[in-house]
Structure 1
Amino acid sequence: RFHGFEKAHKMDPTSSGRGVRQFKTLLLNKLEKNEERQRKNIDEERQRKNIANFSQVWNEFITSMRWEDLISNRDRDLLLVPYLSSPLSVVQWPPFLLASKIPIALDMAKDFTGKADDDLFKKIKSDDYMYSAVIECYQTLRDIIDGLLEDQADKMIVERICDEVDGSIDQKIFLTKFRMSGLPFLSERLEKFLKLLLAADENDDNSMRQIINVLQDIMEIITQDVMINGHDVLTPYYKEDVLYSDEELNKENEDGISILFYLQKIYPEDPKNEIPGKDRSELTRQWVSYRAQTLSRTVRGMMYYRKALDLQCVLETAGDSDFLGGYQTLGLSENDEQAEQAFLDRAQALADLKFTYVVSCQIYGAQKNSIEARDKSCYTNILKLMLTYPSLRVAYIDTTEEQVNGRPQKTYFSVLVKGGDKWDEEIYRIKLPGPPTDIGEGKPENQNHAIIFTRGEALQTIDMNQDNYFEEAFKMRNVLEEFLKRRRGNRKPTILGLREHIFTGSVSSLAWFMSNQETSFVTIGQRILANPLRVRFHYGHPDIFDRIFHITRGGISKASKIINLSEDIFAGYNSTMRGGFITHHEYIQVGKGRDVGMNQISLFEAKVSNGNGEQTLSRDVYRLGRRFDFFRMMSFYFTTIGFYFSSMVTVLIVYVFLYGRMYMVMSGLENEIMENPAIHENKAFEEALATQSVFQLGLLLVLPMVMEIGLEKGFRTALGDFVIMQLQLASVFFTFQLGTKAHYYGRTILHGGSKYRATGRGFVVVHAKFSENYRLYSRSHFVKGLELLILLIVYGVYGESYRSSNLFWFITFSMWFLVASWLFAPFIFNPSSFDWQKTVDDWTEWKRWMGNRGGIGISPDKSWESWWDEEQEHLKYTVFRGRILEIILALRFLIYQYGIVYHLDIAHHSKSLLVYGLSWVVMVTVLLVLKMVSMGRRRFGTDFQLMFRILKALLFLGFMSVMTVLFVVFGLTISDLFAAILAFLPTGWALLLIGQACRPMFKGLGFWESIKELGRAYDYIMGLIIFMPVAILSWFPFVSEFQTRILFNQAFSRGLQISRILAGRKDKTASRTET
């Protein structure tokens, strides 16, 4: 063997009388001895010296063979022993002896899974040439890359990677910390890198660019495909607030309240007055932004992960003696500043390897080029964040125009940038086949296009209304170890669910309700879903994904338009269907901000309900239901779409009960049933049913919330919180949200067409105008509430049974409570809703909104017509089946007229169809009169005032004549007038709904304008009915004070002066503080 000749060469004959025979004898003896024992006994310095001596002779011999043309240049290069350019820890053998050793070692390592490091190293060391080739390759490439890099930070990163490799080998955890499957790809890029170096020209920019690109690929493969347990964070961002400007801080709303003034009253204990004068403006902006739900707060919190890694690296790499001088002198042996900087640079380089934070700012490029002040402010603040946090990366979708076949065509790129000296610097640019948002929903596509820029094993998704805490960041290493624990079926987790801390529940009652509800779901709820039910999915951020598992299975969120509106949970569906395992962990938590205003919460619930409706129609739910066993299937149903389906069924049961009771009352069946003696024997059962229903209604719905508060704070506190929540009308709030879930879930099931609803994350003291509440809740709550109100009135007037029964009182009370909640909850939980001046302003603004004409380009908040058209948008895209179902559901309103007209005094107890026919004649006559008035107003209202007044006078005289005849001749009574209103109002609404469902047909017949005017009239009536109680209560000042106490009781318990905030009465001291 070759090294045998090297060892023989050190026995060079001397002039001491020993000859060639002795040299040959010693040569044969050395070749027969064991190689391993000889290498251990030879001194290292003498060995290297002998190798050098032999190599010199060997190389001269090979060179002489080339001079004699016995070998070619290539043969010579393969046979020569390399000269040492840098000290190596192994012998450098001629290349011909090391041929194929590296590929063989790579194949061995790639297939070496599930075994210890010692087995792999022992196998490699069994071949001396392979062992030397591996060590020489590693150390030589390290020196080459280190020599090429000029930036000190890049050198530090390479050094830290090598330290990781060396340390893992010494600790025998190399196979645990590095993924061997990525080595073949790394070998290919290194081979290309060496070829480019050999052929490179220093003056050729193209060659240098190619070398840089290959180096970037090498670093990406090492950090993403080879190194394990890198932790990445990804945050999707669109155009939310980043950092408040001075103008936004001091801008006053209509009540004279600015954001800065509000927060100074909410957080009086903060040391804001200690801010130096020259830095006060910037630090005040940060102080406010860190207490709102802004991107800067999220970035600051997530960067605690990197800060924790820095500190952990310092603590684990510094010597014991370094701790004696305190934290600032760690790593220093002689108080040398240069050594300190090098030590900290090493820690930061390691943190950069372990942690990456990517914010996917979808329209960052558009904001950069925009001329609008808000977009420019968002761009400037995002750039400032990148300059403040060097490890922050921003991904966005860039659009450029290119000439294709002589025509301009838009080209789309995914771009990654980082902060430079003063501006952003582009790192990567990846061409896309088209605009991602045309394929799917905006938010999931915003996440999916940026995943390619993340690296490492674990990917944590963080929403932009979240926060993090420094003490929690230290637990991330423990959480990442959960990926290595095998669970049922010998499977490793693919999604790690984390607990959330809701930080927005400290001021308003609504925020407290949502905080308690959300806390119970992210703790005891998800804990049970994960184990033992095994039906926990991904419900949003901040779960941690196995990045490699999900990036090869469609990403972390599905993004098909409409059907994947709730994109987060489909990631959990996808992971479960593809063999993944989802766990939940509560020893770490991440901050989360929730919606705090009534309208914000309702929009959020509407979005979630729409999403669950689309889930019900999706094949993912169908496949999971088919593949689960029975018990897991039922758990899956009741914890996902079943909850919303049950909410819809609960509301439908109220309708079925009341319509059934009304039919029995109107048809006379109720009296016949009540005369049956068996009915009177069920009194005891009725009493028991009423009693248990009270407990079931009041306690079971809040049981998870009470249990979680009891576990964490004690059951006395839980009971007290429960009582306080009821006093603050929590039941009204949750009953109202029941209607939100039922409406939007049912509409999605019938017609589809759900859409993303931006909820906004503003502050809670903003007063919502009456027109805004009417637009948001008219069809989802007000219409249904008024329908149930009419049903209860009819049932109460014409029904006689159960009047003395407790069950009757319980049923009627619960339904009246439902009606009151649906009609007036938006005003109860709306700040300043019962302030008289606000009430007057709201009425004036609502009348203006109702009278404004719509058209192209007019937003729904400016005109009733634009809103009315938008409210019917779901009917434009529904299928024929949806229109038929809409018509069938509208026919229920005809029951009122059919039942009530036979109970009028003017009907004289007649059961003839003529009575019903005459009622339709009256209905058509009323509609024609209203149409004449509308046409007269349009034709004569402006230019012919006299003609219009004459027309109205004639109609009035005709109406009075007819009413006189009916009262005198036919026996019409006052009660008949009120009953007729109850009968004909639902009939007109039915005609309106049928007209909306058949819009194309009525447009063709020319009746659409009449239907629109009928819709306007009904909205006027509904608005007046709902507004009257609010206006009456606004007369009494104590009502407004009582409402403020209910809404902001949490703030009062902390000694806050919310009443002063709502009134906007700033004192002079506060004004001076702001300035």
Structure 2
Amino acid sequence: VRGMMYYRQALELQAFLDMADEKDLMRGYKAAELNTDEISLLTKCQALADMKFTYVVSCQRYGIHKRSGDPRAADILRLMTNRYPSIRVAYVDEVEETPDGKDGKNNKLYFSALVKAVPKSVELSEPDKLDQVIYRIKLPGKPILGEGKPENQNHAIIFTRGEGLQTIDMNQDNYMEEAFKVRNLLQEFLEKHGFRTPTILGLREHIFTGSVSSLAGFMSNQENSFVTIGQRVLANPLKVRFHYGHPDVFDRLFHLTRGGVSKASKTINLSEDIFAGFNSTLRGGNVTHHEYIQVGKGRDVGLNQISMFEAKIACGNGEQSVSRDIYRLGHRFDFFRMLSCYFTTVGFYFSTMLTVIIVFVFLYGRLYLVLSGLEEALSSNPAIRDNKPLQVALASQSFIQIGLLMALPMIMEIGLEKGFQVAVIDFVLMQLQLASVFFTFSLGTRTHYFGRTLLHGGAQYRGTGRGFVVFHAKFADNYRLYSRSHFVKGLELMILLIVYHIFGGSYRGVVGYILITVSIWFLVVTWLFSPFLFNPSGFEWQKIVDDWTDWNKWMHNRGGIGVPPEKSWESWWEKEHEHLQKSGVRGIVSEILLSLRFFIYQYGLIYRLSFIKGSMDFLVYGLSWLVIVVALAIIKFVTIGRRRLSADFQLVFRLVEGLCFIAAVAVLIILVSLIRMTFRDLVVCILAFMPTGWGLLLIAQALKPLAVRGGIWGSVMTLARVYELVIGILLFTPVAFLAWFPFVSEFQTRMLFNQAFSRGLQISRILGGPKKDRSSSHKE
């Protein structure tokens, strides 16, 4: 609010300079402020500023907060009365109407209202009433039906006036020197840019949160490159710049008569801002970009906040892919403009998804060559063995996977603004702060949420909090957020790499093989451990102990109706695959077909066991499924025993568990002694059967109604809990091991907050975290 009200101050100063005579100019603006006469020069300047500038804050719940005595409403009222009397607040007022009849039900009436602060010169009959309703418009029904933010904008747009309308997010700020340039900016509406005058004036942004942490610096550099060199090229010559939620200035009359400044349909308009650009372009508008004026903006500073924001954008692009707006743009653009539109909107996310999919396809393809014996035959062929261009092509793929190319636009922008030497130094510092790890991790976020939205739909708004404080995220929080998007996929790649290393030995000395495997291992480590690496105090031993206790409690808490996902694993697990129940037949079939890859993978590994002796009998594959069925039966038996015997017959249950363990060890000894089963065979069996069980879980989740009807849903949940425990232990063990060494925590803190150290900030305050949560956790 403070930053945006600089516009009014700038208008007052400019009006004073335009209207003041020589005598007033010599006395100065401060002297004019002392004159309280109603016809004074300052009063005229303020009246002129109020005519030209109106600031409407759209807070749809202000009426509810005010009636309930919420302190947030008091803060808004204090802001209007004490500091900025010219502010207007738009809100949706809900009033219950009591009917005349005895049996009638209360009806809710909705009003769109605009309030202002009561001038101090006005005498009121109610001294406590400090705000005054200017307009109160009855609505036909509940106005917030779609996405909340665009509905909030559209209900308040009727209270604006003038020809220019600037949309501002709540995480943005402004500067006094920039406010003086608004008169020049508004003149752009009168100039033709190409064949038409602009309908949206694009502005650049200044990210002011880049010095909080290394992650905030990465986001700041990435955002700076997009809002400068990126949007500059999009606007001219590509002519495909749209509206991206930035502080763009709209031609108010143009957009008010063409559907508003944002679309608000549920789900499809999750990224509501860009649809304003689509709408404007489809209706003959012209979007430009101007860099001589900027507005401040605060970006997310923690990894979890950044990931949720990127998940929202990825889901929004998935919904854009199936929207009628993109369809119409693609059919009405010429070929080159169509390609520009594609690669700067949904095409970027589709290409990112293809990059990750190709890594999986490449590994599964190489694994097929290894397990089928074709790799050995191909490697003996000189035409393939000595093919240097093929090796170079395979090796160049690794640099794309590492994510170095993601930093290229940043280097270009920093080089243009600060010089090539500064750009190179910043690039080296970013790599030392593990920028490649962050950007590679972001690939997984975009791929997962974009792909899931395309397959199943159901994109939802994800609030990031937009908080400035960087605090330690618990292990359970990281697990809930990244389990399906990164951890599971990273473990799958790790298993494929281990199997390929065991059986594929023909290319181990080739440079292309080394670079490819190293880059994929880098991808695996990044996806598995980045949340802990970028987590403040992530390697402090006391935090590790608290996280383990919290995670164990979360894993074993019972779920049910009313239990939130943050309190119980069962509730989280049910919600995690909820999108499958809303998916169509195509989504379910696709999920099942994708899960079959684990069975084919198991089929290939079983026949490479040493005691099989090259047999290709299908009975071998059948026996492998018998082993899986027996293992599932044991897990089910132990679970039922724990539920029924652990309370009253704990000794009997422990005895049964011990007997099962002894029986498993005895079977293993018999296999080793009779069929000469080696340690390598044991490892291969584990690597074959674990993914198969996961594939069965995925199919059962996709077919949940059948599983519930068949009475096996409880067994599916039990198996899922076992897998989640194993994944959690695999992730937690390396982190706990590193936490033993105190220097690891110091190094991590220095890496994350290097810029803050150099500016002399107290890191202990930044790492303070939410005290309320800490105290509440001790009470529990």
Instruction: Please report the TM-score for the alignment, with normalisation by the length of structure 2.
Output: 0.95
Kindly indicate whether the alpha-carbon contact (under 8 Å) linking 1:397 and 1:415 is maintained by their aligned counterparts in 2.
yes
* 2:189 counterpart of 1:483: yes
Deviations 1:383-437, CA, capped at 9 Å, x for gaps: 1111121110000111112245843211111010011255211111111111122
Question: Counterpart in 2 of 1:658?
Answer: 363
Question: Counterpart in 2 of 1:343?
Answer: 41
> In the aligned structure 1, how far is the partner of 2:692 from the partner of 2:32?
83
* 2:71 counterpart of 1:377: yes
> In the aligned structure 1, how far is the partner of 2:513 from the partner of 2:415?
35
642-651 vs 872-881, which deviates more?
872-881
Structure 1 residues 311-390: aligned runs within 5 Å = 311-330=13-32, 337=35, 339=37, 342-370=40-68, 376-387=70-81, 388-390=83-85
Post-superposition shift, 1:673? Answer: 1.4
SS at match of 2:79: helix
> In the aligned structure 2, how far is the partner of 1:784 from the partner of 1:691?
23
Post-superposition shift, 1:761? Answer: 1.9
Kindly indicate whether the alpha-carbon contact (under 8 Å) linking 2:212 and 2:301 is maintained by their aligned counterparts in 1.
no
Flag the 1:765–1:339 CA change in 2: closer, same or farther, 3 A.
closer
> In the aligned structure 1, how far is the partner of 2:375 from the partner of 2:474?
45
Question: Counterpart in 2 of 1:983?
Answer: 688
522-531 vs 901-910, which deviates more?
901-910
* 2:87 counterpart of 1:392: yes
2:115 to 390, 400, 417: 417
* 2:8 counterpart of 1:301: no
Question: Counterpart in 2 of 1:739?
Answer: 444
Question: Counterpart in 2 of 1:914?
Answer: 619
> In the aligned structure 1, how far is the partner of 2:346 from the partner of 2:404?
22
The amino acid that maps onto 2:89 is: V
1:433 to 140, 149, 166: 140
> In the aligned structure 1, how far is the partner of 2:442 from the partner of 2:518?
19
> In the aligned structure 2, how far is the partner of 1:960 from the partner of 1:329?
93
Flag the 1:825–1:800 CA change in 2: closer, same or farther, 3 A.
same
Flag the 1:1059–1:322 CA change in 2: closer, same or farther, 3 A.
closer
Deviations 1:261-302, CA, capped at 9 Å, x for gaps: xxxxxxxxxxxxxxxxxxxxxxxxxxxxxxxxxxxxxx0001
> In the aligned structure 2, how far is the partner of 1:678 from the partner of 1:858?
63
> In the aligned structure 2, how far is the partner of 1:795 from the partner of 1:578?
55
> In the aligned structure 1, how far is the partner of 2:418 from the partner of 2:485?
37
SS at match of 2:480: helix
SS at match of 2:264: coil
2:578 to 873, 878, 892: 873
> In the aligned structure 2, how far is the partner of 1:1005 from the partner of 1:349?
74
What RMSD in Å do the two structures reach over aligned CA positions? 1.7
* 2:372 counterpart of 1:667: yes
Flag the 1:528–1:696 CA change in 2: closer, same or farther, 3 A.
farther
Post-superposition shift, 1:963? Answer: 2.1
> In the aligned structure 1, how far is the partner of 2:483 from the partner of 2:11?
52
Structure 1 residues 759-908: aligned runs within 5 Å = 759-908=464-613
> In the aligned structure 2, how far is the partner of 1:1028 from the partner of 1:523?
43
Structure 1 residues 378-527: aligned runs within 5 Å = 378-387=72-81, 388-403=83-98, 406=101, 407=104, 408-420=106-118, 421=120, 423-438=130-145, 440-489=146-195, 491-527=196-232
* 2:716 counterpart of 1:1011: yes
Post-superposition shift, 1:488? Answer: 2.1
> In the aligned structure 1, how far is the partner of 2:515 from the partner of 2:661?
45
Post-superposition shift, 1:951? Answer: 2.1
> In the aligned structure 2, how far is the partner of 1:689 from the partner of 1:900?
26
Identity %: 66
Kindly indicate whether the alpha-carbon contact (under 8 Å) linking 1:329 and 1:340 is maintained by their aligned counterparts in 2.
no
723-732 vs 666-675, which deviates more?
666-675
SS at match of 2:518: helix
> In the aligned structure 2, how far is the partner of 1:502 from the partner of 1:1062?
22
> In the aligned structure 1, how far is the partner of 2:201 from the partner of 2:59?
25
Kindly indicate whether the alpha-carbon contact (under 8 Å) linking 2:471 and 2:768 is maintained by their aligned counterparts in 1.
no
Flag the 1:692–1:959 CA change in 2: closer, same or farther, 3 A.
closer
Structure 1 residues 597-746: aligned runs within 5 Å = 597-683=302-388, 685-687=390-392, 690=395, 694=399, 699-746=404-451
Structure 1 residues 35-54: aligned runs within 5 Å = none
> In the aligned structure 2, how far is the partner of 1:401 from the partner of 1:832?
50
> In the aligned structure 2, how far is the partner of 1:1063 from the partner of 1:456?
46
Flag the 1:923–1:433 CA change in 2: closer, same or farther, 3 A.
same
1:565 to 270, 276, 292: 270
SS at match of 2:54: strand
> In the aligned structure 2, how far is the partner of 1:785 from the partner of 1:742?
13
Kindly indicate whether the alpha-carbon contact (under 8 Å) linking 1:896 and 1:982 is maintained by their aligned counterparts in 2.
no
Question: Counterpart in 1 of 2:245?
Answer: 540
Flag the 1:503–1:324 CA change in 2: closer, same or farther, 3 A.
same
> In the aligned structure 2, how far is the partner of 1:432 from the partner of 1:694?
57
Post-superposition shift, 1:688? Answer: 6.8
Flag the 1:695–1:1022 CA change in 2: closer, same or farther, 3 A.
closer
Structure 1 residues 244-283: aligned runs within 5 Å = none
SS at match of 2:92: strand
2:726 to 1006, 1012, 1021: 1021
Post-superposition shift, 1:1060? Answer: 7.7
The amino acid that maps onto 1:358 is: V
Question: Counterpart in 1 of 2:774?
Answer: none
The amino acid that maps onto 1:430 is: I
959-968 vs 805-814, which deviates more?
959-968
> In the aligned structure 2, how far is the partner of 1:684 from the partner of 1:658?
20
Equivalent residue pairs, number: 756
Structure 1 residues 113-132: aligned runs within 5 Å = none
Deviations 1:767-821, CA, capped at 9 Å, x for gaps: 0000000000000000000000001101111112321111111100110000010
The amino acid that maps onto 1:656 is: V
SS at match of 2:292: strand
Kindly indicate whether the alpha-carbon contact (under 8 Å) linking 2:401 and 2:520 is maintained by their aligned counterparts in 1.
no
Post-superposition shift, 1:346? Answer: 1.0
Post-superposition shift, 1:924? Answer: 0.3
Deviations 1:840-877, CA, capped at 9 Å, x for gaps: 11111100110101111111111101111110111121
Larger radius of gyration, structure 1 or 2?
1
Deviations 1:134-157, CA, capped at 9 Å, x for gaps: xxxxxxxxxxxxxxxxxxxxxxxx
Q: Which has the higher contact order (CA 8 A, sep 6+)?
A: 2
Kindly indicate whether the alpha-carbon contact (under 8 Å) linking 2:353 and 2:446 is maintained by their aligned counterparts in 1.
yes
> In the aligned structure 2, how far is the partner of 1:863 from the partner of 1:796?
38
Deviations 1:140-188, CA, capped at 9 Å, x for gaps: xxxxxxxxxxxxxxxxxxxxxxxxxxxxxxxxxxxxxxxxxxxxxxxxx
Kindly indicate whether the alpha-carbon contact (under 8 Å) linking 1:508 and 1:764 is maintained by their aligned counterparts in 2.
no
Unaligned runs of 5+ in 1: 1-298, 1065-1075
Deviations 1:956-990, CA, capped at 9 Å, x for gaps: 33323322321222222222211111000000000
* 2:706 counterpart of 1:1001: yes
